[in-house]
Amino acid sequence: MEVFDYGIIGGGPAGYTAGMFLAQQGYSVILFEKDKLGGTCLNRGCIPTKSFLHSSDMYAEAIRALQAGELTGSINFDFSKVLEKKDKTVETVRKALELAVKNCGVKVVYAEACVSGENTIKTSEEEYRVSKIIIATGSKPREIKGLEFDGKFILSSDDVLNMQTLPKSVLIVGSGAIGIEWARIFSNFGVETTVVEMAEHLIPIADTEVSKRIERIFKQKKIKFYLKDGVEKISNKTITLKSGCIIEPDIVLTAVGREAVCPSCGSNAVLGDACKEIMLAHYAIQQAKEFALGIPCDKTLIPSVIYGEPEIAWVGLREQDCDESYTKILLPVTALGKAWCDDATEGFIKLITKNNQICGAHIISKEASSLIHIILLAMQNNITADELKKVCFAHPTYAEGIFETLIRM
């Protein structure tokens, strides 16, 4: 029986990244995946959702251009083409990943696997000997009592990707990244959208100023939301909230986070969502880099991004985490010429500093997902605010907003 240096259970970002880096160092690696390579992120999360978002954003932008007189005629969309584009995108990215993993020399076994001994991994048909085992079994949508998934009326974030037609109305329970992004998708496509959140604000993990601005944007877009509320009961597709409000949506999307899928791991290494820490694909990749290459992972410097228009991104301390010894600087996006050119003037760049060090950044803006990395690079390398001011930012860009924010210190 062939013995592998590493056996990895789970082919998501943590599993395939660790496998590729280990194989590149000359280790023999076997990876087990029960479904499709790429895990939740590629097949049921990040990638298909962003494809939906892009299609919905294009449609919404076309409507705005029509209303402004920049386009004439009528504008419609074909949802079957939206689905086709989503599926093609996922397939294209997955094929590229499969080729990359193969070229690194990782052996992939498409079968459900489990640890059957200290150095043994077993599928339904065969056993494999390995010197070391990595568990990277990922996570699944969290289900809550009273809102059990049925795939028809009450949908998980997996189920919603399989819609063949758009509903006329939707209730989204939860306002984390999944809930906010799907609220934007549905709203862009003209679906009557309602969000219910048990916390005091939308996106409760974000800086409060970010949450309040998103609430204002949702009101402008006529996305209804109920705060400090929840589902009390469901009767014949009629939803009664704890506040007493009655909602009759075509579907309910439950978006209250994810829970780890983690079998008995023993002393084996656990990476990615299965370790029950930060459930983000880039954190899983960072963990794999730390495990395979020894590149340290600072959990306090993991950026968060919520996609759509405008994008939302943050890293580091929130204002509500800080005392009066910290300084807050905020630049409205209206200060940027590029934003006016793009008709994208909603949002701000907010920095939190102390003793000339940047301790946190919170951005609502077009391209926020890229801008946050400029701040992250400075924070990770202890580049002071004064040193960052010396960078020549191109004009007109959104990035120059970082300089404009810093000079207001």
| CATH T-level fold of 3-141+258-293 | FAD/NAD(P)-binding domain (3.50.50)
Q: What is the CATH number of domain 310-406?
A: 3.30.390.30
Show Cβ contacts of residue 195 under 8 Å, excluding neighbours closer than 6 positions.
Answer: 171, 172, 173, 174, 175, 179, 180, 183, 202, 218, 223, 224, 225, 226
Q: Which residues are within 8 A (CB) of 86 and not within 5 positions of it... i.e. 6 or more apart?
A: 48, 51, 52, 55, 161
pLDDT digits (tens, 9 = 90+) for 64-113: 998 888 888 888 899 999 999 999 999 999 999 999 999 999 999 999 99
Question: What confidence score (pLDDT) does residue 126 get?
Answer: 93
* pTM of model > 0.85: yes
The pLDDT of residue 215:
98
Mean pLDDT, residues 260-287 taken together:
91
The answer to whether 156 and 251 are in contact (CB under 8 A) is no
pLDDT at 264 over 90: no
Secondary structure (3-state) at 50: helix
pLDDT in tens, 144-185: 999 999 999 999 999 999 999 999 999 999 999 999 999 999
What single-letter amino acid sits at 95?
Answer: K
Please give the CATH number for the structural domain made up of 154-254.
3.50.50.60
**In the chain, what are the domain boundaries?**
3-141+258-293, 154-254, 310-406
Model confidence at 119: pLDDT above 80: yes
> What's the pLDDT band for 117 if we cut at 50, 70, 90?
confident
User: Can 3-141+258-293 and 154-254 be said to share one CATH topology?
Assistant: yes
